[in-house]
A = this chain, B = another copy of it.
Amino acid sequence: MQGGTVGQPGPTLNTVAEAIGVSRQTVSNAINAPAKLSPATLALVEAEIRQQGYRPNNRARCLRIQRSCLLGYCAPRPAEAISGVMDQFVRAITTAAERRGHHILLFSEQSEHQGVDVPPMAVHEDLFAHRVVDGFVISDTDLGDRRQRWFAERRVPFAAFGRRWQQPELGPWVDVDGAAGTESAVAHVAAEGHRRIAYLGWPEGSGTGDDRRSGWQRACAARGLDTRLVATASNGIEEGRALADGLLDLAGPPTAFVCVSDGFAIGCLQAVRERGLEPGRDVAVVGFDDSPAAELPGIGLTSVRQPVEQAGDAVVEMVTDVLADPGRRHPGLLIPPTLVVRTSSVRTP
């Protein structure tokens, strides 16, 4: 290495400490354990840190505590090309990790490598056994997910975005309250005057899908509405269009659709338009995820927004807390989503 800032003279823990007459440990605490200081001392140290332009050498700290300060994250294959939610999540955990002195090591789902089958969790195991990462963030959890037990049995630090939907939940998790999301969707279209509110969902047996469906069902039942207007398929715009078509062919067709995904909802918009009906004015459509596509002109989809940044921040905080204190137990954190209303669900614009 030539030039640059590493190893150059400049502000250090000591220069900050000396300038304001506190100990080196006090400056270190201001950075790594601010709760240990009084607000006045913390403010004094932080002002001097900014004044000197001191940047903590995080890597030296990692070496000292014999950690890599890396968190592994296995990026799932994108379920829907349009979703973009998982990409937002990757960005969220990347910046959240950095705020806590860590980086994200990204890897991919591998079922085979050079023609040889790769067992589940083999990459996780390699990375942890060789101390390449200190722990993991996982996402896309499913009913009875086995990863949490795998981590727990090996005492591998982790935190999950998503539940395993079986008691007891294992290890720290954060999830979005999907049922609350679909309940708010039903409340919204019911307030627009709809009484025949259908649900386009995934087949039973996926924790996330069952959760979202339960919110729709509960909200309809509470209003005395028909809860038999359900059609299911796996993801996809074309599948959403076909499901909506089937329900619109009924003698008493729905006038509103609450969908488990934006892909289904965009297919549903297409089915509505192909019948000469106008989304919003004639038939209300609500998606789930608030994908970047939802706000495009020509789409204008009302959708349940997942607070992905907040989830990413919470899941990283949980795993770094466990790294700092292996005995630390986190209760699960359920975050409420928000309904973003656009033209697809509103009668009079």
User: Which residues of chain A in 43-82 are interfacial with respect to chain B, using CB atoms and an 8 Å cutoff?
Assistant: 46, 49-50, 53-55, 57-60, 62-63, 68, 70, 75, 78, 81-82
A126–B57 alpha-carbon span in the complex (Å) = 8
A-B contact pairs, 28 of them (CB 8 A): A2-B154, A3-B153, A4-B129, A49-B114, A50-B115, A54-B116, A55-B118, A55-B122, A58-B126, A68-B132, A70-B105, A70-B132, A75-B90, A75-B94, A81-B84, A81-B295, A82-B296, A84-B87, A103-B105, A104-B105, A237-B296, A237-B297, A241-B297, A266-B297, A269-B297, A292-B293, A293-B296, A299-B299
Let me know if A172 is at the binding interface, CB within 8 A: no
A2-B153 in contact (CB<8A): yes
Task: Give the size range of A's interface with the partner.
Answer: 35 or more
In the complex, A130 has a CB within 8 A of chain B: yes
With the chains together, A50 CA to B130 CA distance in Å? Answer: 24
Asked whether, in the complex, the Cβ of A46 is within 8 Å of the Cβ of B297, the reply is no
Q: How far, in Å, is A116 (CB) from chain B's closest CB?
A: 6
A266 & B296 in contact (Cβ 8 Å cutoff): yes
B108 touches A95 (CB 8 A): yes
A104–B103 contact, CB under 8 A? no
Question: Is A119 an interface position by the 8 A CB rule?
Answer: yes
Q: Which residue of B49, B118, B269 contacts A298 across the interface (Cβ within 8 Å)? A: B269
Chain A residues in the interface with B (C-beta under 8 A): 1-7, 31, 46, 49-50, 53-55, 57-60, 62-63, 68, 70, 75, 78, 81-82, 84, 87, 90-91, 94-95, 98, 103-108, 110, 113-119, 121-122, 125-130, 132, 153-154, 237, 241, 266-267, 269-270, 273, 292-293, 295-299
B267 touching A297, Cβ below 8 Å: yes
The residue in chain B whose Cβ has the minimal distance to the Cβ of A117 is B53
Q: Which residues of B contact A60 (CB under 8 A)?
A: 130
Q: A6-B126, A299-B299 are in contact. List 8 more A-B contacts (CB 8 A).
A: A4-B122, A4-B125, A78-B91, A87-B87, A91-B108, A105-B105, A273-B298, A293-B293
**Residue of B with least CB distance to A91:** B75
When the two chains form their complex, are residues A4 and B94 in contact, meaning their CB atoms are under 8 A apart?
no
Distance of A58 Cα from B126 Cα, bound (Å): 9
A106 contacts B103, C-beta separation under 8 Å = yes
Closest chain-B Cβ to A109's Cβ sits at a distance in Å of 9
CA of A110 to CA of B96, assembled, Å:
12
CB distance from A19 to the nearest CB of B (A): 15
A104, A106, A115, A132 — most chain B CB neighbours (10 Å)? A106
Q: How far is the CA of A49 from the CA of B63 in the complex (A)?
A: 37
User: CB within 8 A of A106: which of B90, B267, B269, B295?
Assistant: B90
Complex CA gap A230/B49 in Å reads 49
For the complex formed, measure the closest distance between the CB of A309 and the CB atoms of chain B, giving whole angstroms.
13
Whether B107 lies near A94 (C-beta < 8 A) is yes
A49 to B112, CA, bound (A): 13
Bound Cα distance A270, B5 (Å): 49
For residue A122, which residues in chain B have a CB less than 8 angstroms away from its CB?
4-5, 55
CB-nearest residue of chain B to A11: B116
A293 to B301, CA, bound (A): 13
